[in-house]
Structure formats: C-alpha cells, structure tokens
Amino acid sequence: MEKKSIVSLRKIKGNNLKVEIEKTVGLIGGMKKFVNKGSKVLLKPNLVYPYPPPMITSPEFIKAVAELVFEAGAKEVWIGDSSSYTGKPQYGNSRWENKDIFKIHGIDKIAETTGAKILNFDECETVRVKIKDGIILKEVDFFKPVLDADIIINLPALKMHFQTLVTLGIKNYHGIITDYWKMQFHKDEISQKIVDLHKVIKTNLTIIDGIIAMQGLGPRTGTDVKMDVILASEDIVAVDAVASEVMGLRADEVETTRLAHQQGIGIGDIDSITVLGDKIKDVAKTLDRPDTRIEGIFPGINVIKGGVCIHCYGRARIFLDTLLKSGFYEKANIKTVIIGVKPKIPELKDLKGNVLIVGDCANFEASNLRTMLKDRIFVVEGCPPLVSVHNVLDKIYKKFA
Ligand code: SF4
C-alpha cells in the first residue's frame, strides 16, 4: 500500500532538548522547510492549566522550538494560548486567569530571552468564521492571531483524556476558541466539533512533547509516565495516529483521528503512514486508560443515575477521586450520588448521610430534594459541570476543616 504521510518519531538520546527537537524535525525536512524567511509564526502549546508537565507542554520545549523557529528565519514568533475554561463568565470567580498561566510557567521569561511575543488569547480580538464543511460546527469565534499568523506550529503534550481518550495535536486547538465555545464544545459531540475547527485552520507543523506523558484520568488528574519521545509531522492527523500507538492504543480507537481521516484533514490510517526514526514498538508503553466508572468504586456510596453523558461521569469520578485523596471523604459523608438525565429520585426517608448531585439534569430532577435536604446536599452545577467540581470541593474543605 502506498504510504501517504510521514511522521518522525525519536526517543530522546541526549541532554540537549533543542538538539533533540532539531533532529526530530530534521527527519521530515528541517525547520526551514516549514518556516519561511520573514514570516510570523504562531506556536500553539498546551497551556491548559497552571500545573506542571505533563498537564502542559514543557516550557523548555516551547523555548527550544521558539529558538529553532527564529534560527530558521522567522521575523516574529508568537506564543499563544487560552487556558482551560475558568468559569469566570459563569461564576465570576476562578482559580486562575490565562495571564497567570504564562507567569506561573515562566513563559514571560522565555519570551524575554528568545524575543518571542506572548499572546494571551483571552485579551485578543476574536473573529467569527464560517465553517462551510462543518458537520456540527457551522461557525465559531477564533482568536484573531490564529488567522493572522503566516505559519502555525502546534505543540501539544502527550496525554490521555477522559472525554476524547487522548489529547494530542487535533484536540490541542480547544485553546484557540473562547470560553463560551469551549463550554459548548464540552456539552456534546466534542470530537466532531474539534475536527470541524481543523477545516478552516491549517497547521503547518505539529511537534509533540512526549517527554512525560499523562496516563489515566487526564487531562488533569492522571499520573505521569516518563516516555522521552518527540514526534513531528506536517500531517496533524498522522502524528496523532502514531502518538496514540506510542501510548499503547490503536490509532483507530481515537474518535478525533478517525473523523479527521474520514473527512480528509489528514491520514489517520496507521498502515498508510511512514514512521521515520525509531520504531513505534521500540518506544511504546501501554498507558492506563481513563477510567470514569463510579458505581461500586467508592466505599459506602450508592449511585443513582439516569442517562448520563461521559462529561458528567468523568467529572463525578474526578470529584470523588479528589475527595478521597484530600482526606475529607469520611467527613463529607456522601452516601448517594445522583447523576444524569432523569434519574429516579429516591424518597427522602431512604437517603442517609449527605447527597451529591452532579450536572444540571440531575439538579433539575432533584429540585424537591434540594429544598428538603438543605445543608445535606452538595450540587455540582453545570452542563457539563466543569469548574463547579473544584468550587464544591473547596466548599467541602472549608465546611469540614
Ligand atoms: S448535565 Fe445532563 S446533558 Fe449535561 S453533561 Fe450532564 S448528563 Fe449530559
């Protein structure tokens, strides 16, 4: 079968990260092949959280790429991202703002030393763009620099993700849209919506930071695995396909890869991809997959569920895992979790201890319970519930401190 896309995959062998990235990109033609002299280049790392790698792309990785891009002849290098949905529009409070993330990770210092410019997307103008071939998404607001850049270099981290199985190159573009759209994306059909974005944004090069991967309940509460790999390709779909196999998955298990392949964005069929450098089998590790089960997992807790989406399940799992680790599990005394669309609401007399409601669907059905249980109930609001998970946990810590 004729190979249609090329991905470079290299195990890191030395101590100089810049040289390692240069060699990886060198296998597919070198940085000069992608960066035109005098061009404006946008680097899009994963700066989703104010927490260290592998939750984000390593700052030293971003710095090394910025230097290489300047050396290849770029006139301007922009480092731009918008972090995870912060809850600001909904709650008016948040644990962080995008500008904090650049500071916390020292991206401002990287900009200073390399001459790159930081673009806090949350402070940038937005432009509404029509997506003619969008299957679900027919229009979206992009941060303007994404459209203004001559070249886009995508710098994702290597992570499992409880909603999309992985978050790699394709999913990394969740950070080029506003909080409003991020919220809409998380409600349903997130994979197709993300793929629709790629129909109007052309990625020139994707370089994946696989120094440390996140396994398990990514994108935030998984665990670290040292991988020491770098992947690069001009085909964002092909690089995701190979990266998934490096994580011990089959490329076609990942919905974003399958959809993007089917809809002509790139090549996701692993048999149609030429891998240069190291062999997948020599560097792959079987990472833990995201586990969103909650029934029968948490001691003493009964789960009452309606038709529940993965979003609510995943957030409930994150909530209960975090509570368990926090040392407040016993004190919080949660004996019932109610979740999903139209759950069968128990009678008051059958409810012992405290009750946790997850998601707006369950919250709506349980409106009577809320009145009757008063301070015996915790409500994780939202559809899907995002930042409220951590806000309610904070309330529990405060209440039982
Ligand atoms: S609140 Fe309802 S519709 Fe929204 S994510 Fe949860 S179960 Fe799905």
- For the stretch 331-341, pLDDT in tens is 999 999 999 99
CB of 308 within 6 A of ligand 1: the answer is yes
Q: Ligand 1 center to residue 312 CA distance, Å?
A: 6
Residue 389's Cβ-count burial label (10 Å; 0-12, 13-18, 19+) is: buried
Same domain, 174 and 321: no
Report pLDDT for 88. Answer: 60
DSSP state string for 141-173? EEEHHHHH-SEEEEE-EEEEETTTEEESTTGGG
Distance CA 368, CA 363 (A): 10
Q: Is 60 exceeded by the pLDDT of residue 62?
A: yes
Report pLDDT for 93. Answer: 61
Which residue's CA is minimally distant from atom 7 of ligand 1? 340
Owner of token pair 């450098």 = 277
**pTM for this model (two decimals):** 0.93
pLDDT (tens digit per residue) in 298-319: 999 999 999 878 889 999 999 9
Same domain, 278 and 312: no
Which residue's CA is minimally distant from atom 2 of ligand 1? 361
Distance CA 193, CA 215 (A): 24
- Please report the atom of ligand 1 found closest to the CA of residue 359: 1
In the three-class reduction of DSSP (H, G, I as helix; E, B as strand; rest coil), residue 369 is classed as helix
Q: Is 80 exceeded by the pLDDT of residue 71?
A: yes
Is 379 among the domain residues? Answer: yes
Report pLDDT for 90. Answer: 57
Tally of structural domains, the chain = 2
**Probe target for ligand 1 pocket from 294, 383, 386, 389, with the most ligand atoms within 8 Å of CB:** 383
Is 81 among the domain residues? Answer: yes
Mean pLDDT of 73-93: 80
**Region of poorest pLDDT, from 21-35, 92-106, 168-182, 358-372:** 92-106
Distance CA 252, CA 40 (A): 34
Average pLDDT, the chain: 93
Same domain, 363 and 260: no
CB of 310 within 6 A of ligand 1: the answer is no
Preceding peptide of 52 cis, ω within 30°: no
CATH number at residue 317: 3.40.50
Q: Ligand 1 center to residue 235 CA distance, Å?
A: 34
- Domain limits for position 349: 302-399
Mean pLDDT of 263-273: 97
Same domain, 149 and 178: yes
Report pLDDT for 183. Answer: 73
